[in-house]
Amino acid sequence: MKSWLVPCILVAWLLPASADHCLDPPPVNYSILIVTAREERFVVTYTCISGYHLVGKKELFCNKTSLEWDSPAPTCLLGHCPNPVVVNGQLNSSKLEPVSEEEVVTFSCGTGYILKGSNWSQCQKDHSWTPPLPICITGECKSPQRPKNGHFKARDFNSGSNTTFYCDDGYQLIGAQTLQCMDGEWSDEPPICEEILEATTEVPVKAEKESERNNICESIQKLMQCQKDKGKTLEELKYSLEIKKLQLEKMKAVMST
């Protein structure tokens, strides 16, 4: 009988048997096992034969105290890679036989679900799938957290929908005002509402008015000094200003017509 038809192939112990080691390692159908010594304790390694994949721990260690193996024996199941299963989705293949090495499969999701990940995968020599198997998720996002001292408005939380945030009076929005649901995830973190301090608005206005008054005073002082340098009295300055005022009013009347 050929070796690959033998249910279990056992490679003999590489160290002499003694009374202070674990019992013989449990056999596993369709596997090859090797027992070695590592850091003064026995280790058994299981490898499935071609066409089968391992489910469980590949290595078992012998406990020095209890003289028992640290884990249950694995199993070897038919198929070079584990059967590709996607919850809420399906495998796009008519093949019913176990998966073989280098086989490529494709996936799709059921109604109302969105594929996250690659829509195909290939069975590798090490019995794994590459890229990793995808998952099927709902496109709906979870309700965002309402900001303290604020609120949000939204029609729904489905994929593609927008949610807009607002703050109460006396508070300003920090962060993105509008978030979009994209394949079950929000486009950004929810914003917060921060209190508007009075000093942040009143101080600049007060400083601006003070600067304006200073400019007016400075202009008047310059004008008075100029008139004084020319030897004109305050009465003459007053008369000159009245004349300029009448001229400006006349020009304003002409422009309005």
pLDDT in tens, 204-235: 556 666 666 666 667 667 666 766 666 666 66
Q: Is the pLDDT of residue 121 over 90?
A: yes
Mean pLDDT over residues 124-147, rounded? 90
What residue numbers bound the domain in which 104 lies?
89-138
Q: Is the pLDDT of residue 158 over 70?
A: yes
Q: Is residue 84 part of a domain?
A: no
Q: Is residue 233 part of a domain?
A: yes
**Percent of the chain clearing pLDDT 90 (strictly above):** 24
pLDDT score at 15: 43
Record the pTM: 0.47
25 and 10 assigned to the same domain: yes
pLDDT score at 230: 64
Q: What is the CATH number of the domain that holds 106?
A: 2.10.70.10
Task: Judge contact between 29 and 7, C-beta under 8 A.
Answer: yes
Q: Rounded distance, CA 182 to CA 159, Å?
A: 5
**CA angle, 138 as apex, 134 and 141 as ends, to 5°?**
120
- Quickly state the pLDDT bin for 257 (edges 50, 70, 90): low
Give the DSSP per-residue string, 78-136: ESSSPPP--TTEEE-----SPP-TT-EEEEEEPTTEEEES-SEEEE-TTS-EESPP-EE
197 and 229 assigned to the same domain: no
Q: Of 110 and 9, which is predicted with more confidence?
A: 110
> Pick from 123, 121, 139: which is nearest to 131 by CA?
121
Q: Rounded distance, CA 46 to CA 69, Å?
A: 13
pLDDT score at 179: 95
125 and 170 assigned to the same domain: no
Q: Is residue 83 part of a domain?
A: no
- Quickly state the pLDDT bin for 52 (edges 50, 70, 90): confident
Mean pLDDT over residues 131-140, rounded? 89
pLDDT score at 4: 35
pLDDT score at 122: 92
**Which residues, 6+ apart, have CB-to-CB distance to 37 below 8 Å?**
14, 15, 43
